[in-house]
């Protein structure tokens, strides 16, 4: 299969370019311009990475809860003035979101990219991978992202602004976010890898952050997208998924019942893509619009990625055949297999 | 009235003591200014604790002229009466530059600070502000610390020396902290130097957060014909958080996380094998 006609290959290329820009963007646009962008465009990458070209939207949300809204509520003042920065951040986020919808997660997010590449490493090392998590595990994990969004991104910072919690809980999500460690490490800056003994809060949060980062590295080798499943950005996206211009659409056919390939290849284990037979819009809350389900759907136009209602990528039997073959070949190519081949060749030669 | 006078003099004494505590001994007898009240705590930016004006103390500033540059390059003269002054609001945030200059017989002195006012973007890159020549001889940060960053003890930072707007090569540059320590270097052909800020705060207790700050100054002198030029770039630095943040422990915890992740992966692998 021509790799440039393979959606997964195209997506990986986009991910690599996005990773380079959002992690090392400061090198290209200069730290000052990067600094300006980081203030003016509150979305996407991590503020702790000094080379980054922009800033994750979750940081301003936490700071605005702590320093603006909470402060206005606690000390009195114009409530709308306190809320306005949050609304502006939300507005900027929604503007970008309308264009990309949840494709940010599947195509742009540096942490998502890192986890996908970890999984490739695991596959190439010949580690036993878990193609899907159990339905019960997935069901139990789903509320976690909402809990993290509500408690760590909005509630704790707001309570900090009200003066009820100590200042170290003003940006609690950033304190445990693996992306903070990843993106700063990617620029050769180890300053975000630490155990902070300043007080009990910083100690607990830094221990969680480091442990979580290590856990994700190891799990990412065998489990697809381990952190994405609890990421509050996914939850934030889910809130607005109905207004995004890019959608995953299903034209269910009776054959869908017996197939289920779409759910099997889904990196987020969304079984509903397979089981849903009535709804046309199947951009479920955990969907990252990666398009894998469309790629591996063997029936014509059953699954489609649509932009503004126009199909941009549709399931087709011909594509499925080529893609399936390419996937099998890709999965056969592992370090263990090549070592085995080499050993066999060596034996045959002697 | 007496109470009011007492309060005012008390405030001035407090402010002077604060200033002495943070910049005491640094540039004794030289032209300089510094913020009057600098507690630790959470602050965005390098120098100014709040976005509005802030009281500063001018030392040895007789016959000097002070000017402030906004991020867009516009500048205003600052009236200084006595030893204290407030920087005016400019309607924009981000980095501003303040320079005080004095010409005496055969000597031109200047002292400069870059002051960060947090908040909205200024619409201009700080690079534009740095590019403006603010004094005949000047030390320019290259770059300035970004938002959420400050100079920290134990770090090395690059600076550029400029004379009449052009890089000045082969000139000795000295960094001195309020604690009396320092480092020095000679500028290269592009006028660049990298200077080490000593890790020299007193009585730092390991594993405990300490948000003290102090001043340092980067000083250059240059003779051009009959005129001697001397300039100082002043800034604050804070205690390096490595005193209460352990990277090696962080690596250890990441390692533990990886071990647990690996174990969980194996358990899940065994389970799915058995199930399959």
Q: pLDDT for B147-161, tens place per residue?
A: 777 899 999 999 999
Query: Which range, of A50-64, B34-48, B167-181, averages the lowest pLDDT?
Result: B34-48
**Minimum-distance CB partner of A36 among B121, B255, B259:** B121
Mean pLDDT of B230-243: 96
Q: What is the CA radius of gyration of chain A?
A: 22
Tens-digit pLDDT profile for residues A43-91: 456 777 766 666 688 888 898 898 889 989 988 888 988 898 889 888 8
Q: Does A207 contact B at CB distance below 8 Å?
A: yes
Pick B113 or A60 by higher pLDDT. Answer: B113
Q: Is pLDDT above 60 for B241?
A: yes
User: In the beta sheet, which residues pair with residue B96?
Assistant: B115
Q: Does A95 contact B at CB distance below 8 Å?
A: no
Chain B residues inside the 8 Å CB shell of A31: 143, 146
Chain B residues inside the 8 Å CB shell of A38: 147
- A198 CA to chain B: closest CA distance, Å? 5
The residue in chain B having the minimum alpha-carbon distance to the alpha carbon of residue A211 is B257
Q: Is pLDDT above 80 for B37?
A: no
Q: Per-residue b/e over A279-291, b at no fewer than 16 CB within 10 Å?
A: eeebbbbbbbbbb
Give the pLDDT of residue A339.
85
By a Cβ cutoff of 8 Å, what residues of chain B touch chain A? 42, 120-121, 125-127, 143, 146-149, 207-209, 241, 244-247, 249-251, 253-262, 264-265, 268-269, 272-273
- B263 CA to chain A: closest CA distance, Å? 9
Chain B residues inside the 8 Å CB shell of A218: 257-262, 264-265
- B170 CA to chain A: closest CA distance, Å? 27
**Minimum-distance CB partner of A194 among B121, B250, B257:** B250
Instruction: Tell if the CB–CB gap between B261 and A217 is shorter than 8 Å.
Output: yes
| Whole-number average pLDDT of chain B | 83
Chain B residues inside the 8 Å CB shell of A165: none
Give the pLDDT of residue B82.
79
Chain A residues inside the 8 Å CB shell of B262: 218
Q: Does A127 contact B at CB distance below 8 Å?
A: yes
User: What is the bridge-based pairing of β-strands B75-78 and B84-86?
Assistant: unpaired
User: In the beta sheet, which residues pair with residue B113?
Assistant: B98, B234
3-state SS, residue B209 = coil
Both structure tokens of B267:
């358990």
Give the pLDDT of residue A36.
56
Q: Residue B180, exposed/middle/buried by CB under 10 A (0-12, 13-18, 19+)? A: exposed
The residue in chain A having the minimum alpha-carbon distance to the alpha carbon of residue B144 is A32
Q: Does A30 contact B at CB distance below 8 Å?
A: yes
Q: Is pLDDT above 70 for B7?
A: no
Which of A38, A187, A210 to substitute to test the interface with B, most B CBs within 10 Å? A210
Phi and psi for A165 in degrees, rounded to 5?
-125, 160
3-state SS, residue B24 = coil
Place of tokens 């609304």: A87
Q: What is the CA radius of gyration of chain B?
A: 23
Return d(Cα B37, Cα B15) in angstroms, integer: 6
Q: Which residues have a Cβ under 8 Å from the Cβ of B266 and sit 6 or more positions away?
A: none
Q: Which residues have a Cβ under 8 Å from the Cβ of A55 and sit 6 or more positions away?
A: A37, A38, A39, A41, A42, A43, A44, A45, A46, A47
**Minimum-distance CB partner of A222 among B209, B249, B265:** B265
Give the pLDDT of residue A302.
96
**Minimum-distance CB partner of B261 among A167, A198, A215:** A215
- CA-based nearest residue to A177, from A127, A259, A232, A248: A232
Q: What is the DSSP letter of B241?
A: G
pTM above 0.90, yes or no: no
Q: What is the DSSP letter of B198?
A: P
Chain B residues inside the 8 Å CB shell of A211: 253-254, 256-257, 260
Tens-digit pLDDT profile for residues A146-164: 999 999 999 999 999 999 9
Give the pLDDT of residue B39.
47
| Positions of chain A with pLDDT lower than 70, given as ranges | 29-45, 50-55, 131
- B60 CA to chain A: closest CA distance, Å? 34
Instruction: Tell if the CB–CB gap between B42 and A167 is shorter than 8 Å.
Output: yes
Chain A residues inside the 8 Å CB shell of B127: 30, 32
Give the pLDDT of residue B25.
63
Chain B residues inside the 8 Å CB shell of A167: 42
Mean pLDDT of B96-119: 91
Instruction: Tell if the CB–CB gap between A214 and B260 is shorter than 8 Å.
Output: yes
Q: Does A126 contact B at CB distance below 8 Å?
A: no
Give the pLDDT of residue B1.
44
Phi and psi for A3 in degrees, rounded to 5?
-60, -30
**Minimum-distance CB partner of B253 among A33, A50, A207:** A207
3-state SS, residue B87 = coil
Return d(Cα B159, Cα B192) in angstroms, integer: 6
The residue in chain B having the minimum alpha-carbon distance to the alpha carbon of residue A40 is B121
Instruction: Tell if the CB–CB gap between A47 and B148 is shorter than 8 Å.
Output: yes
Chain A residues inside the 8 Å CB shell of B121: 36, 39-40
**Minimum-distance CB partner of B125 among A32, A218, A223:** A32
**Minimum-distance CB partner of A193 among B126, B209, B251:** B251
Q: Is pLDDT above 50 for B236?
A: yes
Interface of A with B in 157-186 (CB under 8 A): 167, 170
Instruction: Tell if the CB–CB gap between B253 and A47 is shorter than 8 Å.
Output: no
Return d(Cα A219, Cα A221) in angstroms, integer: 5
- B214 CA to chain A: closest CA distance, Å? 20
- A101 CA to chain B: closest CA distance, Å? 27
Pick B128 or A13 by higher pLDDT. Answer: A13
Q: At what angle do helices A178-186 and A110-124 cross, to 10 degrees?
A: 80
């Amino acid at each position: 299969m021509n790799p440039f006609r393979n959606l997964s290959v195209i997506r990986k290329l986009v991910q690599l370019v996005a990773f380079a820009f959002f992690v090392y963007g400061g090198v290209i646009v200069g730290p000052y311009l990067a600094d300006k962008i980081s203030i003016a465009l509150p979305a996407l990458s991590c503020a702790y990475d000094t080379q980054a070209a922009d800033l994750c939207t979750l940081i301003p949300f936490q700071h605005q809860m702590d320093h603006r809204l909470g402060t206005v509520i606690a000390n009195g003042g114009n409530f709308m003035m306190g809320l306005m920065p949050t609304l502006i951040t939300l507005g900027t986020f929604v503007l970008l979101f309308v264009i990309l919808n949840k494709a940010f997660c599947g195509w742009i997010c540096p942490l998502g990219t890192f986890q996908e590449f970890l999984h490739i490493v695991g596959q190439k090392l010949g580690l036993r991978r878990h193609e899907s998590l159990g339905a019960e595990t997935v069901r139990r994990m789903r509320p976690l992202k909402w809990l993290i969004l509500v408690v760590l991104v909005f509630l704790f910072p707001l309570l900090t602004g009200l003066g009820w919690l100590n200042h170290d809980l003003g940006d609690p999500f950033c304190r445990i976010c693996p992306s903070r460690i990843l993106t700063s490490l990617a620029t050769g800056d180890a300053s975000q890898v630490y155990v902070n003994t300043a007080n009990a809060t910083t100690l607990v949060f830094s221990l969680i952050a480091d442990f979580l980062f290590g856990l994700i590295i190891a799990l990412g080798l065998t489990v697809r997208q381990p952190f994405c499943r609890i990421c509050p950005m996914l939850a934030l996206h889910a809130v607005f998924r109905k207004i995004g211009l890019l959608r995953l659409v299903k034209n269910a056919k009776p054959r869908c019942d017996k197939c289920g390939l779409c759910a099997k290849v889904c990196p987020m284990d969304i079984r509903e893509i397979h089981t849903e037979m009535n709804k046309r819009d199947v951009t479920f809350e955990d969907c990252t619009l990666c398009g894998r389900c469309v790629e591996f759907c063997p029936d014509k136009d059953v699954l489609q990625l649509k932009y503004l209602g126009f199909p941009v990528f549709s399931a087709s039997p011909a594509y499925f055949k080529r893609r399936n073959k390419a996937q099998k070949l890709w999965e056969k190519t592992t370090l263990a297999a090549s070592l085995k081949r080499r050993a066999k060749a060596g034996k045959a030669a002697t | 009235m007496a109470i009011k006078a007492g309060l005012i003099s008390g405030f001035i004494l407090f402010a002077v003591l604060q200033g002495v505590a943070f910049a005491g001994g640094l540039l004794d007898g030289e032209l300089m200014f510094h913020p009057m009240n600098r507690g630790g705590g959470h602050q965005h930016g390098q120098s100014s604790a709040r976005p509005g004006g802030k009281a500063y103390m001018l030392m040895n500033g007789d016959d000097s002229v002070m000017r402030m540059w906004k991020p867009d390059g516009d500048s205003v003269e600052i009236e200084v009466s006595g030893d204290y002054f407030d920087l005016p609001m400019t309607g924009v945030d981000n980095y501003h530059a303040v320079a005080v200059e004095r010409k005496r017989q055969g000597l031109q002195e200047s002292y400069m600070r870059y002051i960060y006012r947090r908040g909205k973007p200024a619409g201009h890159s700080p690079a534009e502000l740095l590019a403006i020549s603010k004094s005949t001889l000047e030390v320019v940060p290259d770059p300035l610390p970004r938002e959420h960053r400050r100079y920290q003890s134990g770090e090395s930072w690059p600076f550029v020396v400029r004379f009449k707007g052009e890089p000045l090569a082969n000139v000795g540059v000295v960094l001195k902290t309020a604690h009396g320590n320092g480092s020095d270097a000679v500028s290269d052909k592009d006028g660049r130097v990298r200077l080490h800020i000593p890790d020299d705060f007193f009585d730092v207790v390991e594993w405990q957060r300490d948000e003290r700050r102090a001043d340092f100054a980067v000083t250059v002198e240059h003779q051009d014909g009959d005129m001697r030029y001397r300039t100082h770039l002043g800034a604050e630095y804070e205690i390096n958080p490595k005193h209460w943040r352990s990277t090696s422990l962080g690596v250890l915890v990441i390692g533990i996380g990886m071990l647990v992740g690996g174990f969980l992966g194996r358990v899940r692998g065994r389970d799915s094998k058995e199930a399959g």
